[in-house]
Structure 1
Amino acid sequence: MQQAPSQTQVDERTVYDEKPAPRDEPFSHHIFEDDPKSKASLRIYFKILFMITVLITLTIWGILSIYWGANWRFLTGIHKMNGWIVDFDGGPIGATITQAFMNNTGSKEQIDWYTVPASMFPNGEADVADAIVNERAWAAVTIHSGASDRLNAALSARNGSGYDNQVASAYAVEARNENSYVFFVQPQIQTPLEQAVVAYPQVQAQRVGSGIGDLLTTAPNLVFAPVNYTIVNLRPFDIQVGTAIDFVGLIYMLILSFIAALGNFNARVLISGLERRLKLTRLIMLRIVVPVIIYFWLSLAYALLSIYFHVPFDRRFGHAGFVIFWMLSWCAMLSLGLAIEAMITILTLRFIPFFLVPWIITNVSVVFFPIEILPTIFRYGYAMPFYNVSRAVRTILFRTRDQVGLNFGVLIAWIVVSLVSIPLAQAYVRRKQVAEWRASQHTREDAHLGDSEASITTTQG
């Protein structure tokens, strides 16, 4: 009779027949491996990717649309730009040129031209030019005093040798917004004036009548070209590298501020551990003082870069122009960078890029074309850092309307808001950190107490 195997023999055979479980070693798994840990990791991975894709999609539709909107139908807002016609002549030449402009206004895509009495300008055309520089209008067309009388005198004398047919001047400021000047201000000045130049010889022919034959012989210029004009660009955008400072450079300035804020966060939180070592008041002091010092130096480096490329900062304020630009750059970096410093506290590294994108877009959207011609929603741009830096830079470089004090005031207001927000955000985060630390301490104490009780029980047993 065969003897049944003992329990010890069965256990030994079972252990011998079982295959050892594979070790969970790093760098050794496939993507779709049938393994619980690999599946869990893939679920987490694709969940994060899905959330990021959704957030980026919402950013495209909700934030990038702001910039698209600023460049979509801006032509329909040109009528919000005003233009003056000032007739110092009061004769047929003035009437013809005025009528030409009245025939080219009224559409949403045309400058709103209207007549202004010459009596408003006691110093003549010099006052008109000064008004355009000070942005009381986008453009002005003046018909010179006595233009019709001089032409009539030349016609009566049948002598055109001493006659100057420059009877009108148009004034505009390119440096106020070079894009609008090129795209529609200059063309909408030139078109009516060309029409007047073509129309006036016909008006004059009717007035002269049969005497036109003698004029063709003695003074043909009085028949074919009795009127002409001059376009005066009062403040030309004549510093090409100014584009780097005034538009693209603003984006670079924000990116540099972002990099500085990011480096500060990494050094404070992830590497040195100062975030969890310092008292709240000392941490707040560190977070405010350090960026101020860093941006002071970075703004100087940024300003010196423009000096290297011979940007003339002395046109408006003399030698103080460079210092003003440096301080402007410092305030700009503080207003842009401290806002990031405040937001990174709440959003952390994971979500701060979703603040950077709208921060760039909302600023950029209001500096390419004049805010006046954009939809009403873009009026927020008057309070944005980019717009005010751009305005101040134009004053320093091109001597446009001086509102530098107001521009600095807006930037300082942004800095103050951030200086208030940073302590509040840091206090909120510190409260959470302390609560989490206390919870972990309680958990550790409970675990230590459980181990002690188990050890006592084992000893007593």
Structure 2
Amino acid sequence: MHPPSSSSQTQVDKRTMDDEKRAAQPDQPFSHHIFENDPKSRIAIRMYFKILFMITVLITLTIWSVLSIYWGANWRFETGIHNMNGWIVDFDGGSVGATVTQAFMNNTGQKDQIDWYTVPASMFPNGESDVAEAIVNERAWAAVTIHAGASSNLSAAISARDGSSYNNQVASAYAVEARNENSYVFFVAPQIQAPLEQAVVAYPQIQAQQLGSQVNDLLTSAPNLVFAPVNYTVVNLRPFDIQVGTAIDFVGLIYMLILSFIAALGNFNARVLASGLERRLTLPRLILLRLVIPVVMYFWLSLAYALLSIYFHVPFNRRFGDAGFVIFWMLSWCAMMALGLAIEAMITILTLRFIPFFLVPWIITNVSVVFFPIEILPTIFRYGYAMPFYNVSRAVRTILFRTRDQVGLNFGVLIAWIAVSLVTIPLFQTYVRRKQVREWRRSMHQRADAHVEDPEASITTTQG
């Protein structure tokens, strides 16, 4: 092997000297390239791509594990429709009632069909008004009643050959759209109307066989008794007739959570990064600050949120009169505290770096249980009865549309979430404070040890 030439050795020495000079010089900001070949740049680039890789992995896991919850709530939901019950109440007891009942019995039993079953008319002493009240109180999703005397009235009209005073509205169907407008549009209303239409078509054929030769006479004197002897009425007991209500009981819930998240982030930045109160206050004072300030913030923000709906003329007085707006305001306040204080608690442990990975499941698990009824979703979604979004949506529907009143229960669930956060925030803050104190003491010991090992540095520092 040949020894290196003097010129190549000189170049190596020169590069070494240049590297030593660059290392000795202070690092200049705003002056480096992405693929610059110096130690600090290489370390920075490696750290950058390492963090990006870890974030990508975490986001991927979030997509597969958390977003799948919402996808699952909308996947094959129709297979759970059989969990929705429907009543058939025959106040007639004649051929009309039997035909209508049979039409519904022919349209039940499948997973994608409402579970229709007959209920004795004796259960409703006040007649159809009791049935309507039961549907509003959510004892069933829908009910079909065959009016008392439907068959006898038709027979009397046929005997008199007079169809002028005959009313062919022999059945009524009752449902509550405002209970869940999506289910009403997609399957409740269609599965009410389809069997009723079948009964409307089938009964004239059945009647024609019974009448025999009388049909010809009726075609001349009262054709309506032959061609349209039965018909029905669909009664929407609580229509979803406030379109802006969608912004309040569904999309607005997401906005409410986002606003709570922004407030929690602002509180964190003000407390930890800007003012330094996180490390300045004693633990009891810090916990008091963390519990009181968000509650006061959400009190005002919830008022601003409620006033927004007033500006767009949302009628809050339908169910509770003038107190409706105050109830909605208090509901929004409790909702913001339930949603926001949970973020306040988790940001203590997760910090700013990882709190978004709590926000995503917090949104998804709430949203997944308010679009369709929980009854038709897979069993795992029964957790939704205890979620803030579900209970806020239920209470809003009561205030705006006079649906079943469980407002007290809805407030109770929200208050339970608030109570959990009021316990976890002090616990998490105590844990973090102990960790901060240990790190501070460790750093103080290291500084003290450094001063002992280097007395000149200690003297210089003291003089400075």
Q: 1:364 aligns with which of 364, 367, 387?
A: 367
Q: How far did 1:442 drift?
A: 0.7
Q: Kindly indicate whether residue 222 of structure 2 is the aligned counterpart of residue 238 of structure 1.
A: no
Equivalent position to 1:140, from 136, 140, 143: 143
User: For residues 57 and 119 of structure 2, what CA distance do their matches in structure 1 show?
Assistant: 55
CA distance in 1, matches of 2:458, 2:262: 53
From 105, 108, 112, the equivalent of 2:111 is: 108
CA contact (8 A) 2:451 2:458 kept: no
Matches within 5 A, 1:79-98: 79-98=82-101
Residue 454 (structure 1) shift: 8.1
**Structure 1 residue aligned with 2:277:** 274
The match for 1:26 among 26, 29, 33 is 29
Question: Structure 1: how far apart are the matches of 2:167 and 2:249?
Answer: 40
CA contact (8 A) 2:89 2:118 kept: yes
Q: Is 1:158–2:136 an aligned residue pair?
A: no
The aligned runs of 1:161-310 (5 Å cut-off) are: 161-310=164-313
Residue identity matched to 2:21? A
Check the 8 A contact 2:90/2:145 in 1, yes or no.
yes
Please state whether the residue corresponding to 1:237 is helix, strand or coil. Answer: coil
**1:76 corresponds to 2:56:** no
Q: Decide which of 321, 325, 342 is 1:322's aligned counterpart.
A: 325
Q: How far does residue 34 in structure 1 lie from its aligned partner after superposition?
A: 1.4
Worse-superposed segment, 29-38 or 337-346: 29-38
What letter is aligned with 2:206? Answer: V
Secondary structure at the counterpart of residue 310 of structure 1: coil
Once residues 118 and 49 of structure 1 are traced to their aligned partners in structure 2, the CA distance between those partners, rounded to angstroms, is 67
State the 1:451 CA deviation.
Answer: 2.2
Preserved CA contact (<8 Å) 2:81 2:111:
yes
Mark the CA change 1:290 to 1:354 in structure 2 (over 3 Å): closer, same or farther: same
**In structure 2, how many angstroms separate the alpha carbons of the residues matched to 1:455 and 1:206?**
114
- Kindly tell me: are residues 454 and 356 of structure 1, through their superposed partners in 2, closer, same or farther at Cα, counting changes over 3 Å? closer
Structure 1 residue 304 displacement after superposition: 0.2
Q: CA deviation at 1:29?
A: 1.3
Partner amino acid, structure 2, of 1:43: R
Instruction: Report the residue type matching 2:169 in the other structure.
Output: Q
Aligned: 1:62 with 2:65: yes
User: C-alpha displacement at 1:18, in angstroms?
Assistant: 5.7
Instruction: Return the alpha-carbon distance in structure 2 between the equivalents of residues 444 and 42 of structure 1.
Output: 30
C-alpha displacement of 1:445: 1.1
CA distance in 2, matches of 1:441, 1:30: 37
Number of residue equivalences: 442
How far has the Cα of 1:282 moved from its partner?
0.2
Quote how far apart the aligned CAs of 1:455 are. Answer: 8.4
SS in 1 for 2:297: helix
Counterpart residue number, 1:51: 54
TM-score normalised to the size of structure 2? Answer: 0.94
1:48-86 deviation line (CA, Å, top 9, x unaligned): 000000000000000000000000011000000000000
Where do 5+ consecutive residues of structure 2 fail to align?
1-12, 460-464
Q: TM-score, normalised by structure 1?
A: 0.94
Identity %: 84
One-letter amino acid matched to 1:449: V
TM-superposed CA distance for 1:256, in Å, is: 0.1
Using the alignment, how far apart are the partners of 1:283 and 1:187 within structure 2? 57
Match for residue 9 of structure 2?
A: none
Shift of 1:257: 0.1
Separation of aligned partners in 2, 1:266 and 1:333: 19
Which amino acid in structure 2 is aligned with residue 365 of structure 1? S
Equivalent-residue separation in structure 1 for 2:44 and 2:282 (angstroms): 37
SS at match of 1:446: helix
Whether the aligned pair in 1 keeps the contact of 2:73 and 2:369 (CA below 8 Å) is: yes
Cross-structure match for 1:399: 402
Partners of 1:255 and 1:455 lie apart in 2 by 51
Number of the residue aligned with 1:131: 134
Q: Is residue 439 of structure 2 the alignment partner of residue 439 of structure 1?
A: no
In structure 1, what residue type is equivalent to 2:354?
F
The equivalent residue for 1:5 is: none
